[in-house]
Amino acid sequence: MLSSKDILYIRKKFPILKKKIYNNPLIYLDNAATTQKPIQVINAIKKYYTTINANVHRGAHYLSNIATNAIENSRLKIKNFINATYSEEIIFTRNATEAINLVALGMSEFLTQGDEIIISYLEHHSNIVPWQMLCQRTKTCLKVIPIDKDGTLQWEVFEKLISVKTKIIAITQISNVLGVNPPIKKFIKKAHTYGALVLIDGAQALSHLIIDVQNLDADFYVFSAHKMYGPTGVGVLYGKKNSLEKLLPYQGGGEMIKTVTFEKTIYADIPYKFESGTPNIEGIVAFSAAIDFIKEIGLNNIIIYEKKLLDYTTYMLSKINGIILYSKDIPRISIISFNIFNIHHFDIGIILDRLGIAVRTGHHCSQPIIDFLKILGTVRVSLSIYNTFEEIDNLYKGILKAKKILKQ
């Protein structure tokens, strides 16, 4: 179990945490939007540009081979981190959003009018809009699993929605608004009895949960490096090998081909079939360093510490008069959304910012949840391994100060 001394040691690896905001120490509680980067990730980017910098898969020269080996080693490391079966099941994208779009576009040719796609009320816009666009193109039907007031997916309704017409189900592993963690394995198992594919949006999960894609048995699993201490501009699509091989490429160009003539193009095998053009090489290399950072601490240690911190945050915020905590009575992962009665969420966020406390306000790119709750938005606190109990005490004091100012 991590001690307070261990957490202070971890914090020293994050240069930005020394920053002052309006002469106050930075308290960064917006980790669901993006995590901060440890020094080894920053150094990995610098090392790439100062010692390697060459394009990949295309050159016979020394630096090109080094660069190619570096991103392929990252692919292997990611494969092992999520326990995929094959390295070629790891596709590099710009982010989880692009990974979802890749699957949606790749499925276009396999859907016909009358087929159905199922998503849920918990989804980020990135796992809503691509499926809406796919339905418009293919004249298929989008169905939505409703939620209870606490954010629980309604299983009984899902059982009525799914049918032999269902071709793919796309659901989140952790809600980016409520932090709730649906029983996705149960949904996956049910979907497969109808022959439907399943895509899991794991963008909020990989730095907070141990993920074993073989155990989950999802057909596709997507995530972003920047939400797990890695750089922006790097995402991953995991797909079962047989599922990926059936998908059509969603964009064309160099690298994703075997042969090109003016009459016909033959596509490369996976993963390169989906990786056209020059990738974010330094970002992929630095993602490897982020995974090393997580493994160095131990994901189990992170899970235990963040659970204690989440419980403490919930306890402290619950003491504030007039606070509304969403989904507080069901298990959550590192995210708390709240409002203060008769105070706009944005106003609270602005005052906390002046105190050096970074939180997120608004609908968090998940407007259907906000509409379902019949509110304008929330204040979202999202935690990470470098956050401390003392920071939560300061958050508590900051909210009390905001209440006092805004009530005057």
pLDDT digits (tens, 9 = 90+) for 210-265: 999 999 999 999 999 999 999 999 999 999 999 999 998 988 887 778 888 888 88
Radius of gyration for the alpha carbons in the chain, expressed in angstroms and rounded: 22
Structure confidence by residue, pLDDT tens digits, 141-179? 999 999 999 999 999 999 999 999 999 999 999 999 999
**pTM beyond 0.75:** yes
Cβ atoms of 357 and 341 closer than 8 Å: no
Sorted by where each starts, the structural domains of the chain and their CATH numbers stand as 4-30+298-407 (3.90.1150.10), 42-295 (3.40.640.10)
Quick check: is 365 catalytic? Answer: yes
Cβ atoms of 339 and 378 closer than 8 Å: yes
Which DSSP category does 271 fall into?
T
Cβ atoms of 340 and 401 closer than 8 Å: no
The H-or-E segment that residue 392 falls in is helix 389-407
Given the residues 17, 21, 133, 365, the one annotated as active site: 365
Q: Which amino acid is at 178?
A: L
**Among 16, 32, 46, CA closest to 283:** 46
Which DSSP category does 12 fall into?
T
β-pairing, 141-145 vs 116-120, is parallel
Q: Which amino acid is at 205?
A: A
